[in-house]
Amino acid sequence: MNIDSKTKIYGLIGHPVGHSLSPLIHNTAFLDQKLNCIYDCFDVLPENIKDAVFGIKALGIMGVNVTVPYKEMVIPYLDFISDEAKLIGAVNTIKNNDGRLEGYNTDASGFIESLLEQGVEIRGKNVVILGAGGAARAIAVAFSLNDVNSITIANRTEGKAYNLYKYIKEKFRTECKYTSLDELIDFDNIDILINATSVGMFPNVNATPVDEKIIRKAKFIYDLIYNPKETLFLRYAKKYGIKNSNGLNMLINQANNSFKIWFGKNFNKNLIVNVLRKKEFIK
Ligand code: NAP
């Protein structure tokens, strides 16, 4: 990588950002497409988030991804928000368009693409989302936009499950329910079960958001977590022979969709998969 006075800067703002795979993904794509660009991580403290966003404009940074906990907080400081990002209420991609900061969300589209790539039917399906945080919201909106039959939101804090349920009911015609995690034991007919909680993520790798009795009822199991590659949630899916996916496909697709917003073209997904495989993030 040749860095000179013309090198354009891209990056990730969040807190913390130390374990992100985004620099590896985007710098690989830049090298591959011979783009004189570099992608770095910016660990921003909450009290500095407004200055950080204005700094994108002031310093001529060309684009950033936004991660936890700032996907909602950046919105008031942007000049334009896409309809999808407005519906989700979160921005994960900012493009500096000649000094106009544009906010987009590529989590939802990245998630749906990852399901379609794995041959999972979405339309008419009954889905259960574990969690009611930012990722759960993006996924609930994505499913509602893609004509699922029903969405059930199950969360540790039931009040948050209720809020997300209410939001989906207000915005979409999708059938929606909410419940506690334990009450899922009474649910049948789960086509797609998604872990959108942080339970099972490194270093707490022996935790699962729901009991295996619930997991074994599902026809497809998706864990948004990609570190570890195989969570306990996915190990149970394997035990019962249920088709499953970790969060890497979504990560790669959302990164590609950000890249498309910045450069108007795709990156080479196979190359990215191979690089991640070499680094042992993928089996
Ligand atoms: P978030 O907004 O902080 O939400 C966290 C969720 O996890 C909440 O529903 C929370 O429940 C639940 N939770 C946390 N600890 C729990 C516990 N001990 N028991 C039960 N539930 C618990 O985070 P997020 O942004 O939605 O991210 C959620 C997960 O998705 C993370 O693992 C993240 O890495 C992953 N993710 C992956 C991708 C990808 O590209 N693959 C993209 C985005 C996110 P309460 O409401 O009760 O606190």
Number of domains in the chain: 2
Q: What is the mean pLDDT of residues 229-257?
A: 96
Range of the domain at 177: 109-246
Residue with more model confidence, 277 or 234: 234
Q: What is the mean pLDDT of residues 27-52?
A: 98
pLDDT tens sequence across 137-171: 999 999 999 999 999 999 999 999 999 999 999 99
Tell me, yes or no, whether 40 lies in a domain.
Answer: yes
Encoded tokens for 196: 């959108």
Same domain, 267 and 200: no
Encoded tokens for 118: 């794995």
227 pLDDT band, cuts 50/70/90, is: confident
Same domain, 208 and 126: yes
Nearest atom (ligand 1) to Cα of 131:
9
Same domain, 268 and 225: no
Q: Are strands 93-97 and 100-104 parallel, antiparallel or unpaired?
A: antiparallel
Residue with more model confidence, 134 or 222: 222
Same domain, 138 and 101: no
Same domain, 201 and 89: no
Residue 216: CB partners within 8 Å, gap ≥ 6? 236, 239, 240, 242
pLDDT tens sequence across 199-216: 999 889 999 999 999 999
Residues of the chain above pLDDT 90, percent? 93
Does the active-site annotation cover 260? Answer: no
Q: What is the CATH number of the domain that holds 35?
A: 3.40.50.10860
19 pLDDT band, cuts 50/70/90, is: confident
Mean pLDDT score of the chain = 95
How many A from CA of 204 to the centre of ligand 1? 13
Q: What is the CATH number of the domain that holds 211?
A: 3.40.50.720
CB 136 within 8 A of CB 155: yes
Same domain, 92 and 204: no
Tell me, yes or no, whether 1 lies in a domain.
Answer: no
CB of 196 within 6 A of ligand 1: the answer is yes
Nearest CA to ligand 1 atom 44: 135
pLDDT higher than threshold 60 for residue 283: no
